Amino acid sequence: MTRPLIWTVLILTACAKTPATETPAPIAPPEQPESAPSEAVDTPFSETPAPLPLCDFNANARECLNQRVRWVGTVPEMILPHPYLAGPAEFGRFHGHIEVDGQQYVLVVPEILTCTHSMEATGTLREIDLGGPEGTRNSYRNYYLANAEVRCTDSQ
């Protein structure tokens, strides 16, 4: 007797009409005001992004760490000893040197430098500090430019 009852319940449940649910009306996008036709602008196929602003190294050396700076200087007559800086390929592969206002700095560049007298270097300012006692070889501390872009301005 329970079997016919189960079948009846199943059939009635399957055939029962479900209440109709209303479908919400689609939301129309907000109307855009008509704008004047834009003038055709002659632009290159792929525009390069605007360069990041430069930090003023001469005025704010310490505050410029990890920011882009520009140094204008000369090729040093004698390369002073500096620690060798290594890192990933994006960091740069070669060392170059620049002398700015009597101070020598390292440039980490993607290619060997060929400047013979003067240059302009732009890159991310970093600092190396070996942290040793003052006056010892391990006390080296100096700024350098990572991933530097160098433009030779030789005009002798």
Boundaries of every domain in the chain: 57-152
Quote the percentage of the chain above a pLDDT of 70.
58
* pLDDT attached to residue 36: 45
The mean predicted confidence, pLDDT, of the chain is 74
The answer to whether 154 and 116 have CB atoms below 8 angstroms apart is yes
Q: What's the pTM value of the predicted model, to 2 decimals?
A: 0.60
Phi, psi of 5 (to 5 degrees): -70, -40
Mean pLDDT of all residues in 134-150 = 86
Coil, helix or strand at residue 89: helix
41-45, 66-70, 84-88: range with lowest mean pLDDT: 41-45
Q: When comparing pLDDT for 107 and 21, which is higher?
A: 107
**Span 12-41, pLDDT tens digits:** 444 555 455 555 555 555 555 554 444 444
CATH of domain 57-152: 2.40.50
CB count in 10 Å sphere of residue 113: 18
Place of tokens 């006390």: 139
Q: Spell out the long-range contacts of 77-82 with Cβ–Cβ below 8 A and sequence spacing 24 or more.
A: 79/104, 80/104, 82/106, 82/140, 82/142, 82/144
